[in-house]
Structure 1
Amino acid sequence: MVTVIPGSDLLTSALNVISQSLQIPVIIFLLAFAVFAVYIIGSLISEYSSHKKVPVKLVRDLIYRIANCEDINDIQGIIKNAPIQHSQKVVLIEIAKSKDLREDTRRALARKLFEEEQDKIEKNLQKTDIVTKIGPTLGLMGTLIPMGPGLAALGSGDVNTLASAIIVAFDTTVVGIGSGAVAYVAGKIRRRWYEQYLSNLDALADTVL
């Protein structure tokens, strides 16, 4: 027969209090993630409708036109009239205007502008990455936390408490996995768009230099 020492009971009680106190914060975060998942879907649809798909042929033609042009005003005109993203035009025009700087300074400026675009994209993707990783984890926590009291109630014959615990467990699991899945898909789609965006910007920036 195993004798349970008082210290063990105290530690077990402390763990139980900590785990049960996390249930409300977990549910609040899961509700926030669910709202964010709906927002992600809407923003992804909006971004897709305004997304400019720039084919390789168009980028190649722009590179030839810019490379064969020596006048800075003509280069700016080509960039302004090009069917590319507005943010790309801002970066390329800024690089074109720096023609009076030293070569190494121009390249440093171009690199800095390119890195700023990368930072903007990373900040945008961080939100979906967080939901992708944390959502299922919170869903699992929301599943396990209520099951402890539910199983304890089953031992005393309280089926209603167990039923309520199971409902909470299933709901939190669905919301956690669902929000994580939506964020994962949106992140993958956006990451593909942004990779093409940066690739085109890098090629055009080198040409302007």
Structure 2
Amino acid sequence: MEITALFKSFIYLVSSSLLTPVLFLLSALILWLIMYSGNFCGLWINRKRLTNDIDPLLALTNQTFSNFPPTVRQCCLQLIELSKQPHADLAVTHLLREQEHHLWKSLDRLKMLIRIGPGLGLIGTLIPMGTGLAALSQGDLTRLSGDLVIAFTTTVVGLTLGLVSYFFFTVQRRWTEEDVKNMELAAEIIMGDYVNRPDERQ
């Protein structure tokens, strides 16, 4: 029984000590998400300014890159330069994979926050509930009410982080898929023109 009581005390001590780091992480993630919201709004405004009624195939064939996001424009210019070099097909494949990896990697933080936010909120809920129940057994209603406030607010904050991050991730995933599609289309068009001009490959 003494060993069981020792383990219980140790687990309770560890659990109680996690509350402060959880509250700190939730606060830091809120601030980061607020700053990220500004960046997201900037990206959304820039994409809204682009002309959406132009056929991407026609625009890329005519090498009119002004109607594409900066990432796609830069990739198209690099593709044109690489098509003039030896082993152009390998260089183009490497560039496309590198750009695609970079675009998807930029979404990793949002993808993690979708899970981390609610997880931290749940941890921040259960820890004060344990101390609150201990305070209730001692008749300390003041401490119980304070612990319940912390428990419910951390739940709200954690769920909010997850929901907002999921919204941002969903929209930016669609943007990423569109950019990757346009970059692959540009590569096929540029390399198709390169293959059809054997005099430039000699």
Question: Scaled by the length of structure 2, what TM-score is found?
Answer: 0.87
> Which 4+ runs in 1 deviate beyond 4 A?
52-57
Q: Distance in 2 between matches of 1:157 and 1:82?
A: 69
Task: Please provide the CA RMSD for this pair.
Answer: 1.8
**Secondary structure, in 3 states, of the residue corresponding to 2:67?**
coil
**Count of matched residue pairs:** 190
The 8 Å contact of residues 40 and 183 in structure 1, kept in 2 or not, is answered as no
**2:56 maps to which of 56, 59, 74:** 59
- The question of 1:87 aligning with 2:71 is answered yes
The CA deviation at 1:54 is 6.1
Q: Pairwise mapping of residues 31-42 of structure 1 onto structure 2 (< 5 A)?
A: 31-42=27-38
Q: Is 1:190 the equivalent of 2:186?
A: no
The 5-angstrom pairing of residues 4-19 of structure 1 reads: 5-19=1-15
Q: Is the 8 A contact 2:83 2:89 kept in 1?
A: no
Q: Paired residue for 1:74?
A: none
1:98 aligns with 2:95: no
| 8 Å CA contact retained: 1:40, 1:186 | no
Structure 2: which 5+ runs fail to align? Answer: 192-202
Instruction: Output the CA distance in 2 between the equivalents of 1:167 and 1:188.
Output: 32
How far apart are 1:124 and its partner, in Å? Answer: 1.5
Q: 2:147 aligns with which of 140, 162, 165?
A: 165
Distance 1:170 1:152 in 2: 17
Q: For 1:43, give the aligned amino acid.
A: N
Question: Deviation at 1:108?
Answer: 1.4
**Counterparts of 2:66 and 2:129 in 1: how far apart (Å)?**
59
Counterparts of 1:126 and 1:24 in 2: how far apart (Å)?
Answer: 26
Instruction: Return the offset for 1:40.
Output: 2.6
CA separation in 2, counterparts of 1:148 and 1:24? 15
Cα distance in 1 for partners of 2:125, 2:29 equals 16
In the TM superposition, 1:30-179 aligns within 5 A as 30-51=26-47, 53=50, 55=52, 57-65=54-62, 78-79=63-64, 82-102=66-86, 105-179=87-161
- CA displacement, residues 132-152 of structure 1 (integer Å, 9 cap, x when unaligned): 110000000000001111101
